[in-house]
Amino acid sequence: MDLTRAPETAGRRRHTRIAVRCPLTLTPAGGGERTGTTLDLSLEGLSLATDLPMPPGSRYRVDIAALPCRSGPRPLRVDAKAVYSSYLGPGSFRVGMVFINPDDESASVLTDFVA
């Protein structure tokens, strides 16, 4: 797991994105898990690398077993929707996702991470 606390900025973002590399599991509503690695994360979403593209608008449950939070590693489970999918190279795609109505526990973990 690699964590860089230098914030990434972009003109249209409302929240600071923090570069972080940790494994995650993606589960669509119909089942069938996929894996990936986070690239960055904020209070409102994340980007990840995975082996196949994800259509914009597709919804997944995102599970990160041990997000490196200020208080120590914490699990994160949150629903998210794909916003874009970009080709990075053979067998590699960057996917941007926005979180969908994080529950109180997920919001607590995200706040602990970006703090």
pLDDT score of 80 more than 90: yes
Domain of 109, in residue numbers: 2-114
Say how far apart CA 98 and CA 90 lie, in whole Å. Answer: 25
pTM: 0.86
- Percent over 70 (pLDDT), the chain: 87
Contact between 32 and 75 under an 8 Å Cβ cutoff? The reply is: no
The domain that holds 8 is classified in CATH as 2.40.10.220
pLDDT score of 6 more than 70: no
Which pLDDT tens digit goes with each residue over 47-70?
999 999 999 999 999 999 999 999
* Residue 77: predicted pLDDT: 98
Contact between 38 and 66 under an 8 Å Cβ cutoff? The reply is: no
| Count of domains forming the chain | 1
Average pLDDT, the chain: 90
Find the mean pLDDT for residues 104-109.
97
